[in-house]
A = this chain, B = another copy of it.
Amino acid sequence: MSVLINDIEVVKTETSKINDIDFDNLKFGQVYSDHMLVCDYENGAWKAPKVMPYQNISLEPSAKIFHYGQSVFEGMKAYKDADGGVWLFRPMENFNRLNISSKRLAIPEIPEAYFLDGLKTLLEVDQDWIPQKEGSSLYIRPFVFASGTGLHASPANAYKFIICTAPSGSYFSGKVKVLIETKYSRSANGGVGYAKAGGNYAGQFYPTQLAIDKGYQQVIWTDDTSHEYIEEAGAMNVFIRINDTLITSPTSDRILDGITRKSLIDLARSKGINVEVRKIKVSELVEAAENGSLKELFGAGTAAVISPIAGFGYQGKDYELPELKETYASSLKKAITDIQTNKAEDPFGWRYKVL
């Protein structure tokens, strides 16, 4: 039996799984809330979204998602404050980027109301799934994929837009060491690197596994032409602190326009930190590590928030970062999570109240 919430059809589960979940020991993205939002594209239009119990999807083997990787996604988080208020962080940025990604992958763009009202309704229905504990949040995964069939390599005529959510703890555990990659590449000039396209991630798994086998957790990608310039870390953008200047690469058609990245640039500047958005040579990083001017290296992304990097490998040599008592990484992480979780003023207007 369905009810209408915010004019959206909602079918509630009869068997909630919430009591099976250990909210004190959450991993990242491994348990899913009771409901999901589903929206179908058929006959040239997106149909009205529905909230329904989290359940399996049934597809023909000839559905194009299985063959041609036609999919895009987003990553967001919902936070619950001390008073039980529920917040999102810059959701319109995710909405806009989802459609930018979709356009590049020849996927029809989603109407704003279906995305935002759909998400708000889903969060209302599953509000008890949003963790309140510090460091935890409800990870939100909107994704769109080709459900239409056919073995011709061309765009599908049917798609599914789904949002599922997962109460989650931190993305990385322990110290993060990264390998600066000079053989494999993440993306091409004129390619899909700026889009959150599924295929961008699968292509990183093998080189990342090779790095893990060598004792690193992540790869920092360099440009595919010269391998001289630092790009991004695949699941994170990268920030480098040399002396008291924070440097990050400009976005391009190869680099994701990270929402945490651009928020940190604004936050750091508002704290009086000198931020340079410019291309960075690996040689500059290495030189700074050698002469002691390299103070910090960290990744930034929705899933990982800010992930300090303890060391990096490059061309067979390992470089350690100094262990500072006070870091930009920790002060910026506190500043952004305080805004996200309604513990601090929000001079930028980034916080978005859901409930």
Q: How far is the CB of A108 from chain B (nearest CB, A)?
A: 12
Q: Tell me if B225 and A189 are in contact (CB < 8 A).
A: yes
Q: Kindly provide the distance from the CB of A348 to the nearest chain B CB, expressed in whole angstroms.
A: 27
Alpha-carbon distance A18/B162, docked complex (angstroms): 35
A190 / chain B contacts, CB cutoff of 8 Å: 181, 183-185, 224, 227
Complex formed: what's the CA distance from A264 to B197 in Å?
Answer: 34
**In the bound complex, CA of A150 to CA of B206 (Å):** 17
- Within 8 Å of chain B (Cβ to Cβ): is A143? yes
B150 touches A224 (CB 8 A): no
Contact B67 A69 (CB under 8 A): no
Instruction: Judge whether B61 and A152 touch: CB under 8 Å.
Output: no
A209-234 contacts to B, CB under 8 A, are 209, 224-225, 227, 234
- Contact at A205–B139, with CB atoms within 8 Å? no
Query: Is there contact, CB below 8 Å, between B197 and A155?
Result: no
Are A188 and B141 interface neighbours, CB within 8 A? no
Give complex CA distance A303, B67 in Å. Answer: 14
The answer to whether B56 and A151 have CB atoms under 8 Å apart is: no
**CB pair A60 B69 closer than 8 Å:** no
Write out the residue numbers on chain B whose beta carbons fall within 8 Å of the beta carbon of A312.
none
Task: Decide if B70 touches A145 in the complex (CB within 8 Å).
Answer: no
Contact at A202–B141, with CB atoms within 8 Å? no
CA distance A248 to B58 in the complex (A): 42
Q: Is the CB of A61 within 8 A of B54?
A: yes
CA of A87 to CA of B70 in the docked complex: distance in angstroms? 32
Residues of B within 8 A of A198 (CB): 65-70, 198-199, 202
Contacts of A186 in B (CB 8 A): 188, 191
List, in ascending order, chain B residues with CB within 8 A of A155's CB: 205, 209
Assembly CA distance A208 to B70 (angstroms): 14
- When C-beta atoms are compared, the residue in chain B nearest to A104 turns out to be B206
B58 touches A57 (CB 8 A): yes
Q: A62, B185: Cβ atoms under 8 Å?
A: no
**In-complex Cβ contact of A225 among B168, B192, B205, B225 (8 A):** B225
> For residue A47, which residues in chain B have a CB less than 8 angstroms away from its CB?
none
Q: Considering the chains assembled together, what is the distance between the CA atoms of A37 and B197 in angstroms? A: 29
Which residues of chain B are within 8 angstroms of A184 by Cβ–Cβ distance? 190-191
Check B150–A29 contact: CB distance below 8 A.
yes
Please tell me if the beta carbons of B58 and A56 are within 8 angstroms of each other in the complex. Answer: yes
A344 at interface by CB-CB < 8 Å: no
8 A-B contact pairs sorted by A residue (CB < 8 Å): A29-B62, A67-B201, A69-B69, A69-B197, A69-B199, A186-B191, A188-B188, A190-B224
Query: Does A324 sit within 8 A of B, measured CB to CB?
Result: no
A249 lies within 8 A of chain B by Cβ: no
- The reply to whether B224 and A188 form a contact with Cβ atoms under 8 Å apart is yes
Asked if residues A203 and B209 are in contact (CB atoms below 8 Å), the reply is: no
Q: Across the interface, do B206 and A103 meet the contact criterion of CB distance under 8 Å?
A: yes
Q: B residues within 8 A CB of A66?
A: 57, 65, 71, 73, 143, 145, 162, 198
Which residues of B are found within 8 Å of A197, using beta-carbon distances?
69, 199, 202-203
Q: Is B29 touching A152 in the complex (CB atoms < 8 A)? A: yes
